[in-house]
Amino acid sequence: MEPLIREAKPEDKPFIGEIARLTWEGEDYLARVFETWLKGGNFYVLELEGKVIGTAKLTILPDKVGWLEGLRVHPNYQKRGFGRILHNFMLHKGKELAEKGAIDALEFSTYFLNKESIAMAKKDGFKVVERFYYLQKPLGEKIEPKRTKIESLSELEYSDYIPYGWKFLHKCKESLEWLNKKAEIREYSGVKFSYVPMHENEPTFTPFRLSAESIETLLPAMSFEASKIGYDSIDIMLPEERRDLIEPLKELGFKNWTNFKEPDVLVFRKML
C-alpha cells in the first residue's frame, strides 16, 4: 500500500504519542503540542496501512516565514525514504503558500549532528543563516518575577533572530507583537526575559539583555518559572556571535551538549 499524507486529526494523538515516546529518549515535545498544532493548521501525518508513522508541521511566523518543524518518522520505519517523502511534501506546501503571498521563505532549526536532515536540506537549497549554543543549568534559588510585556525591539539584544524555543523569529515589529501575544514575558530586578508556553514548544528562556550580569540576576526568576511548569533546568539559546559569554556562563553553572566546541543549533533558510 502506498503511503498517504493527510491533515492530522484528533484521533491521531495515540500514534503521535507513540512516536514521541520513541524519539529523543522519550523527551520529544510532539505529544504535548499536539492540540496546539492541530488548531494552528498545516499539521500533517504520513499514514501507512492505517497507521500514522510520520508527522510534519508548517507554522507561519512573522515576516512571512514558513517555519518547518515536527518532522518525525517512527523508528520502525526509518531509513526507508519516508522522511524524504514528508520533506518533499512540505516543500510543495511551502511553494503553494508562497504563491498565495502568505510566505516568502521556509526556515527551520535542527541539532548540528542531525546529518540526514541537514544533507537533505542543503540538497534542496537551504542555507545556514544563524547558529546558536544550547545551554542548560540546573535550577537554583527560586524567586517569583512579575508579568510584563515588550515595549520595544531595542530591549532584545539579539541581532537578526530572537530565540523562541526551537523556533527563531526575525527581529522585526511583527515579531514584537507576536511575542507579546504568545510568549510568557517576565521581569525581575529590572531585567526582562521570556519563555515558550509548554503547549507550544520546548520552554527555553530568552534573557533580553545578553550579559553575564543580567543572566545571573535572572537565575532565581527563571528557576521559579521553570519549576512552575515542571521543568528541571534553565535552557538558553546563545547566539554564536556572543561566544564571549561562554566562559562567564560556564562559571554560573551552564553546560553545553558538546562542551562548547561549536554552535550546536543551526537555523536554515530557503527563499521561495
DSSP string, 231-248: --EEEEEEEGGGGGGHHH
Quick check: is 84 in a domain?
A: yes
Same domain, 39 and 167: no
Q: How confident is the model at residue 163 (pLDDT cuts 50, 70, 90)?
A: very high
Same domain, 136 and 62: no
Q: Which residue range is the domain that position 233 belongs to?
A: 130-266
CATH number at residue 45: 3.40.630.30
Same domain, 71 and 170: no
Total domains, the chain: 2
Euclidean distance between CA atoms 67 and 52, whole angstroms: 22
Q: In this predicted structure, what is the pLDDT of residue 33?
A: 92
pLDDT tens figures, 99-126:
999 999 999 999 999 888 899 999 999 9
Same domain, 261 and 141: yes
pLDDT tens figures, 3-53:
999 999 999 999 988 998 888 776 778 888 999 999 999 999 999 998 999
Angle at the Cα of 169 from the Cα atoms of 164 and 171, rounded to 5 degrees: 125
Domain boundary (103, 118, 142) is at 103
Q: How confident is the model at residue 199 (pLDDT cuts 50, 70, 90)?
A: confident
Same domain, 62 and 187: no
SS3 162: strand
Angle at the Cα of 207 from the Cα atoms of 241 and 221, rounded to 5 degrees: 150
